[in-house]
Structure 1
Amino acid sequence: MIIVEEVQDKYQRKEFLEFPARLYQHDKNYIRPLDQHIEDIFDPEKNKFFREGECKRFLFKKNNKTVGKVAVFISSCYQQEQPTGGIGFFDCIHDQETANFIFDHCKNWLQKKGMEAMDGPINFGERDKFWGLLIEGFIEPLFAMNYNFPYYKELFESYGFQIYFEQLCFTRPIFAEVSRVFTIAYERNKRNPAISALPMKKNNLEKFARDFTEVYNKAWASHGEGKYLEENKVLKMFKTMKPIINEHISWFVYENEKPIAMWINLPDLNQWFKYLNGKFGIFEKFKLLWLKRFKKNNKMVGLVFGVIPEWQKKGIDGYMIWEGTQHLRKHTDFTITELQWIGDFNPKMIKIAETLDTKVTRKLATYRYLFDRNKPFERHPPVL
């Protein structure tokens, strides 16, 4: 018999964090997320999604031992054709009956809230963190990326979940030859005196937050489920990121003083955090400083790439990539870049990634389960 416990006290919160650490203790590729990073997602004072939604966490026990855990949530920020809730932070022993019990519990909870479907595993927050189930490429996860055993795919699909969209991660060596398409675009645009490229600088975050907001809102906010960003919130995010910003790897392109493109990258923090075992107290902070100084990080992660509509298909992407690549080859230790996931519904970004001579190194999937089993299932519509 499986017992369900809602996570409420400090012992249950600790078990929610410790169960996956025990489950993956023999998996050499597992990197434990920072405990505080997970806890902040479930803190109403720190997660704005609580303003427009509700979230509960549950532990599932058999014979007084944890056999699974999950978070289940609703948010008005997550607009779909039918009212759709989410499940995330799912971990489970290799047992379909246990997984089915967990999924049924989530389904019942969501139905009581008026939902007609559930997506998972997703985050009670933005798509850039803890979103999707790993289905290919069981290697060390990037920072804030889900990692799971291969058998999780079977657990989801045997229950009846179907892939709503796939999330593709593309990798290329920094020192690999840059596509001739990009070098031609670079040569053409560098002759234009109005065009210039600048790396992001920590001492002028206000300017770059403003420029980021302008490019993002023009390039992405009107696409699919995108939304407009506010400059003050972007600045707050940049200031939070300041300790980990590498001034050689994030780039902006301008037409005179007007921002027209951006390419935002960060070091993969998991290359350092994997030595901290999920903790981030005083000792771990000093250890991180030591690691940053003496432990080379050879992987950077592409977070956001955008060109405003009037400059798309004019080679500005190639100009920016080649300008930035030439610079970072000289000034950093990075040897690998991985593009944070791109949805299979976004052929434009996939084309850019392919032109970069990348290869898909991992795939995640966002699954959907319709409560009305007779309703036709439709995948995520393409972004044109």
Structure 2
Amino acid sequence: MPLVKVVDARQARLFHDLPARLHRGQPVYIGPLTAEVEAVFDPIKNLNFAHGEAIRWVLTDDAGQVIGRLAAFLNRDMPAVADADLPTGGLGFFECINDQAAANTLFDAGREWLAARGMQAMDGPINFGERDRFWGLLVDGFELEPNYGMFWHPPYYQQLFEGYGFQLYFKQYTCWRDVDMPLHPSFGKRAEAFAAEQPAYQFRHALKRDPERMARDFHHVYNLAWANHSGVPEMSLDKARQLVQQMRPVLDERLLWFAYHHDEPVAFFLSLPELNQILKHVGPRLDLVGKLRFLWERWRYQRRRPKKMFGVIYGVVPAHQGKNVDAVMLVHAQKAFQVAGYTDIEMNWIGDFNPRMLATTRSIGAKICKTHITYRKLFDESRPFERCPIIR
């Protein structure tokens, strides 16, 4: 089975076209935007290339038909890669026919490429970028449509990964909640008491007309609340600006909530309209026709019920944890979500290494609806395997 490195536009098209062909018969399948996947491998658009590198392959059968694909990458600024005890690279964008030998050929290529660069393990499937998209293997919830930025995978992919020797590193849960479902009465009581006792705090949504403030506030909370937790690197302000710029065409400012203490951002709960509910009517390519179709479908979506949003990220600066800041922020946010006409929310993924966040989702009545797994493969199989550390 010939393995071909992707080096030109024709091979890139083969890379992008495979998932839709493999999953053509699946009614819930929604593919990602071609341009967004391609941007991951563009050194100009992906800032991770400043300290890293990536490669991708397509696998063909003897007749020249593409039957698999894979990417391998490493960013030497990532804590996992820089770990002197166990430097760990990444694999992602895996797609393959139901054939263990074909999958092994792809995994072997990724392993050899990473080992040649000093890696001793590999995680996958992950992204050459942030964890908010293209991260994890779907293992439960196959009957549901994927959220924007997440892949749909068939059940047999789990067997292909585990058959190669990948082991569970951590699980990622997507949780669903009816937006109109009342919060527990204790939330309202805490919000009333908080307003009387903590006047230095304010809660408000972001303003689309002020992207610089949005980027700075997000950058500040993210680095204090998330950086250095479970392999999450610190984010630069330029990267935060880039993310805001990418979101601006589709964001609904009423879904981006911040808590402030004396005007310092100390918590956020950031959500987006669930774009796959629009993109499934548009297709993977936003050419001129695609863009016009997107604008039409977005207009229809904004006026439709039911209407789904998805939670991208939530965090509280450690110095302000345990003070009911998050509970009060959610009370304010829920009212705005209802006014905006959203009926369902899926919180995009929460690692099982974060029990406090899972407890928060349970406290607001959310239930797990999808499960993804991030696997790890140790190159030295005699070495004891350790799961992802729990955030305490």
Other-structure match for 1:278: 284
- CA shift for structure 1 position 282: 0.9
**Do 1:186 and 1:319's aligned partners in 2 also have CA atoms closer than 8 Å?**
yes
**Residue deviations 1:140-166, cap 9 Å, x none?**
111111221010001111111101111
Q: What percentage of aligned pairs have identical amino acids? A: 38
Pair 1:127-2:122 in alignment: no
What is the rounded CA distance, in whole Å, between the counterparts of 1:267 and 1:144 in structure 2?
12
Letter in 1 for 2:320: W
Task: Quote the residue 1:243 is aligned against.
Answer: 249
Q: Distance in 2 between matches of 1:50 and 1:110?
A: 15
Counterpart amino acid of residue 116 in structure 1: Q
- The CA RMSD over aligned residues, in Å, is 1.6
Q: Which amino acid aligns with 1:176?
A: M
Alignment partner for residue 176 of structure 1, among 178, 181, 184?
181
Instruction: Verify the 8 A CA contact 2:208 2:248 in the aligned structure 1.
Output: yes
Counterpart position of 1:67: 67
What is the CA–CA distance in structure 1 between the aligned matches of 2:18 and 2:199, rounded to whole Å?
A: 58
In structure 2, which of residues 353, 372, 375 is the aligned counterpart of residue 367 of structure 1? 375
> 1:114: Cα distance to partner?
2.1
Which residue identity lines up with residue 223 of structure 2 in the other structure? N
Amino acid at match of 1:10: A
Could you tell me which residue of structure 1 aligns to residue 309 of structure 2? 300
Q: Among residues 204, 213, 225, which one is paired with 2:210 in the alignment?
A: 204
CA distance in 1 between counterparts of 2:218 and 2:104 reads 43
Q: CA deviation at 1:354?
A: 1.3
Whole-angstrom CA distance in 2 between matches of 1:110 and 1:217:
28
Correspondence for 2:8: 9
Indicate yes or no: 2:97 matched with 1:93: yes
> Gapped runs of 5+ residues in structure 1?
none
SS of 2:255's partner is: coil
CA shift at 1:210, angstroms? Answer: 2.3
Whether the 8 Å CA contact 1:182–1:318 is kept in 2: the answer is yes
From 296, 318, 330, the counterpart of 1:321? 330
- What TM-score, normalized to structure 1? 0.95
Task: Tell me if structure 1 keeps the 8 A contact 2:78–2:233.
Answer: no
* 1:250-269 pair list within 5 angstroms: 250-269=256-275
Contact residue 174 and residue 337 of structure 1 kept, 8 A:
yes
Query: What runs of 5+ residues in structure 2 fail to find an aligned partner?
Result: none
1: CA distance between counterparts of 2:354 and 2:317? 16
Q: Alpha carbons of 1:251 and 1:152: their partners in 2 closer, same or farther (altered >3 Å)?
A: same
1:232 positional shift = 4.1
Matches of residues 155-174 of structure 1 in structure 2 within 5 Å?
Answer: 155-174=160-179
Structure 2 counterpart of 1:118: 122
Q: Distance in 2 between matches of 1:124 and 1:107?
A: 16
Q: Would you say 1:51 and 2:46 are equivalent positions?
A: no
Count of residue pairs brought into register by the alignment: 382
Q: Separation in 1 of the partners of 2:111 and 2:278?
A: 38
SS across alignment from 1:284? helix
Greater alpha carbon shift after TM alignment, 119-128 vs 199-208: 199-208
Q: TM-score, normalised by structure 2?
A: 0.93
